[in-house]
């Protein structure tokens, strides 16, 4: 009889403990760290991703200006020329891209002229200006300027821009920043359009 009562108490105790454990979600005696890290926002893309575009633009600018001489005013002109040249190469014959490239190269060329700051009768550089010419060349020879020149050359290889598109005061000096093919073979017709005309789809 006593053994029966003991077994009955043990059964009730076990059942009570089991129900309590289940009610608490079957907790174990120790906690394990979660293998999944909590989600954290990495970038605010409010307003249709505009913040992301601004972030990417600033990152691109920082990458480019890291190759410059840290001249803020010139860096703005360098980046404008680089962006305009790249955009025109990808979308030749686009009127907006063409206008942007002409404006950017005009500003870039005038910055070179201002750095030279030397009288040039009949367009000739006097011997007394040789030192200033060397300084101007050095200023516009940073790795970023070299990248700008390469992008401009690729853009002008697409054709579609002629010297008459530029103000008279920069038409001669801006030639040093264009493609060699532009010097003697300027054309108002874009190269991709010429190729399409020569190879019409049948």
15-35 pLDDT, tens digit each: 555 545 555 555 555 444 444
Q: Return contacts of 71-78, CB within 8 angstroms, 24+ apart.
A: 71/139, 73/111, 74/111, 74/139, 75/144, 77/104, 77/107, 77/108, 77/111, 78/108, 78/144, 78/145, 78/148
Q: Is 93 exposed, middle or buried (0-12, 13-18, 19+ CB in 10 A)?
A: middle
Flag whether the pTM goes above 0.85.
Answer: no
- Which tokens belong to 194? 């010429």
pLDDT digits (tens, 9 = 90+) for 103-148: 999 999 999 999 988 877 766 677 777 888 889 889 999 999 999 9
């Amino acid at each position: 009889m006593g053994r029966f009562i003991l077994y009955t108490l043990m059964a009730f105790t076990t059942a009570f403990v089991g129900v309590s454990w289940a009610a608490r979600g079957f907790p174990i005696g120790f906690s394990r760290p979660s293998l999944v890290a909590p989600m954290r926002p990495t970038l605010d893309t409010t307003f249709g991703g505009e913040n992301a575009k601004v972030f990417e633009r600033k990152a691109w600018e920082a990458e480019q200006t890291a190759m410059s001489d840290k001249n803020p005013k010139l860096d703005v002109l360098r980046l404008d020329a680089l962006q305009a040249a790249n955009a025109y190469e990808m979308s030749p014959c686009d009127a907006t891209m063409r206008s942007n490239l002409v404006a950017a190269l005009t500003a870039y060329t005038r910055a070179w002229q201002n750095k030279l700051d030397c009288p040039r009768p009949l367009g000739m550089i006097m011997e007394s200006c040789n030192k200033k010419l060397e300084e101007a060349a050095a200023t516009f020879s940073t790795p970023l300027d070299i990248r700008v020149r390469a992008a401009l050359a690729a853009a002008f290889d697409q054709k579609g821009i002629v010297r008459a598109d530029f103000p008279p005061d920069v038409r001669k000096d801006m030639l040093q920043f264009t493609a060699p093919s532009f010097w003697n073979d300027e054309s108002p017709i874009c190269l991709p359009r010429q190729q399409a005309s020569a190879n019409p789809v049948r």
